Amino acid sequence: MHTGSRPIIDFQIEPSRYRHWRIEADGDVAYLIMDVDQAGGLSEGYELKLNSYDLGVDIELNDAVQRLRFEHPEVRCVVIKSGKDNVFCAGANIRYLGKATHGHKVNFCKFTNETRFAIEDASENSKQIYICAINGNAAGGGYELALAADHIMLVDDRRSAVALPETPLLAVLPGTGGLTRVTDKRKVRRDRADVFCSIEEGIRGAKAVEWRLVDEVVPNSKWKETVAARAHEIAARSDRPTDAKGITLGALDRKIDGDRVSYSHVAVEIDRPRGLVTVTVRGPSQAAPASVEAAHALGDKFWPLTVARELEDAILHLRANEAPIGVVLLRTEGDAQAVLAYDDFLAQNQSDWLMREIRHYIKRVLKRIDVTPRSFIALIEPGSCFAGHLAELAFAADRSVMLVGTRKGDNRAPAAITLGAANFGWYPMGNGLTRLETRFLGEPDTLVQAKAKIGAPIDGEAAAELGLVTVAYEDFDFDDEVRVMLEERTSFSPDAMTGMEANLRFAGPETMETKIFGRLTAWQNWIFQRPNAIGEQGALKLYGSGVSPTFAKERV
C-alpha cells in the first residue's frame, strides 16, 4: 500500500505474519517470546542483531499485547522472555536509529512508550500480570521493556546484566521511560540511578536486587523451573476468568484510496493544499445488544470495539505516514442516544471480562490522541453525536467549535453535546484526571453543573456558557469563523504548535506517564537533534566505528 508514491507504515498485523515474536500458552500462563529475525528490519540497511528492535518489532509486540487481552481471557500471567540463548534484548537498533529521520525516531519512541504503558495497563486493570525473565544482557530499550513488567527476574550466571548505557555510548537518553521508571516505579535511589545510567556494562547479580533494578536473581541451574513457578504463583492473584472464550481480532475493514482512508465507522479525508485532515466517526447503526452473550457473539464487530480499533489505526496512520498534515478536524455523525445506550450497556456489564477490556481499550485510544503531535479541533454540527465516550473526542481536542441550532434547510437534529456517566471517571488521561476534570481544574463548581446535565442534549449557547466548547457560532458566522481559525492555525510553526499543545494538554498533577510523554519526550526530541548525538563527530554517527565522538562542551 502507498500514500502518494511512498510505501506506508502499516500498524495492522496478526500472529501468522509475526517475524519477531511468538506466543506460547501454558494454561493460565502465556510466554511472550522475543526472537527477532535479524534480516526482518522495517527497512533496508541494518540487521537486527542481539534481539535489537525497530518499529516493526514494536508493532508486533503491540499487537501481541492486545491479542493476549482479548483473545486469551484464560491467561492470567504473561512472561516476557527471549527465544535466544544468553541474549535478552540489546534495545533499539542503533543502525536503524542512525538512518531514521528525526520525525521517525520521535514517533518510534512514542509508539514504543504507548506499548510499554499498555503492558502496565494490562497488569493493573486487566489482571493479566506481566513478569520479565532476563537471560542475558538487557540493555537500553531491552531493560526498558523489562521495566514495564510487574516483576523482573534475572539469571545469575555472572554474565547477564541490566543496563541503560545510552548516555555514555550514544549521547542520548533512554527513550522509552527508563529514567523515570527506575526512579518513580522501581524507587531506585537518585545517586545509584546516576551511577547506573552512566556506565556501559550495567549491573548484575545480587547488586541488581539490592539496588531494586530487578526483583530477584535465580541460579542458572534452577532458572526454567523457578520462572514457571513464579508465573503460576503470580497468576493465582488474578481475577480473570478460567473458562471464558476469547474473541478473535480480525483484519480491519479498511480501504486506502489516494487522500481518503475509509473504514466501516471511521472516515479520513486529507486536504493536502490546506494541510489538514478530517476524521469522521460514525455512531452505531444498530441498537445495543440485548445481552452480554449477544455482545460476545458479535466479537470484534461489537460497535464500541470496532470503532475504537478503526480510530486507533487512523490516528497511527496519520502519525507515521502524514507528517505534513498538522491539523485534524474531528467530526461525528449519528444518534447521540444510541451512543449513550452502548455506554450504558458497558456500564451494566462492567463485571464481564470483555466489557472491561473494551472500556480500557477505549481509554488507551483516547490517550493516543492526547499525545499525538497534531492540532485537534472538534466541529460540533447538526447531526453529530458527540455523546458519552464520543464526547471525549471534543474534550481531547485543543479547541472545539459548535454551531448554534441548525443550518437553513437542514432537517437533522440541532448541534448538541450529550454528557454521560462515561465522561465522569471512565476514561482518565495520563495525569490521572478525566478530561472534564482537567478542563475545569480552576472551576470545580462547573464540573458539578456539567454532571447535572447527564443524558440531556446541550445546545450551542448552553455548551459555550458551561465551558464545554471553546466557542459557539450562529449559522451565518460558523463557516467563515472556522475558515479563519484554520488558516491561522496552519500558518504557525509546526514545531511551536507541537510544543505548545503538549504543554497545555496535561494540566494538573504530574504522573509517571506525563513525565515520560512530556518531560522525557521533550528532552529526547531536542537531544536527538544535537550535533553531539547526530553530527559528523557525534556518538550516534560514530557508534561501532572504533572512533571516539568529539563533543561540544558548552552546556545549553
Report if residue 372 sits inside a domain.
yes
Same domain, 290 and 404: yes
> Alpha-carbon distance 427 to 225, whole Å?
40
Same domain, 202 and 272: no
**Strand partners for 26:** 29
Looking at 183, 206, 235, the residue that finishes a domain is 235
Same domain, 353 and 460: yes
Report if residue 545 sits inside a domain.
no
Same domain, 393 and 441: yes
Same domain, 178 and 306: no
User: Where is 32: in which H helix or E strand?
Assistant: strand 29-34
Looking at 505, 530, 551, the residue that finishes a domain is 505
For the stretch 70-81, what's the b/e string if a residue is b when 16 or more beta carbons lie within 10 angstroms of its beta carbon? bbbbbbbbbbbb
> Alpha-carbon distance 154 to 204, whole Å?
8
Q: Which pLDDT tens digits describe the chain residue by residue (556 residues)?
A: 344 446 899 999 999 999 999 999 999 999 999 999 999 999 999 999 999 999 999 999 999 999 999 999 999 999 999 999 999 999 999 999 888 998 899 899 999 999 999 999 999 999 999 999 999 999 999 999 999 999 999 999 999 999 999 999 999 988 889 999 999 999 999 999 999 999 999 999 999 999 999 999 999 999 999 999 999 999 999 999 999 999 999 999 999 999 999 999 999 999 999 999 999 999 999 999 999 999 999 999 999 999 999 999 999 999 999 999 999 999 999 999 999 999 999 999 999 999 999 999 999 999 999 999 999 999 999 999 999 999 999 999 999 999 998 998 888 989 999 999 999 999 999 999 999 999 999 999 999 999 999 999 999 999 999 999 999 999 999 999 999 999 999 999 998 998 899 889 989 999 999 999 888 777 877 888 889 988 999 898 888 889 999 999 988 7
Report if residue 173 sits inside a domain.
yes
Nearest to 452 by CA among 437, 466, 465, 440: 466
Report if residue 153 sits inside a domain.
yes
Same domain, 230 and 259: no
Domain count, the chain: 2
Tell me the CATH number at 172.
Answer: 3.90.226.10
Report if residue 523 sits inside a domain.
no
Residue 151: how many CA atoms within 13 Å on its side-chain side?
A: 18
Same domain, 217 and 357: no
> Alpha-carbon distance 541 to 526, whole Å?
17
Q: How many residues does the chain have?
A: 556
User: What is the value of pTM for the model shown?
Assistant: 0.95
Instruction: Find the DSSP H helices in 102-200.
Output: 102-121, 141-147, 166-170, 178-180, 190-196
Report if residue 550 sits inside a domain.
no
298 phi and psi, to 5 degrees? -70, -25
Same domain, 286 and 356: yes
Same domain, 223 and 265: no
Same domain, 331 and 456: yes
Q: 182: domain range?
A: 19-235
Nearest to 373 by CA among 398, 350, 351, 353: 398
CB 360 within 8 A of CB 468: no
Same domain, 212 and 260: no
Same domain, 317 and 422: yes
Report if residue 542 sits inside a domain.
no
Report if residue 374 sits inside a domain.
yes
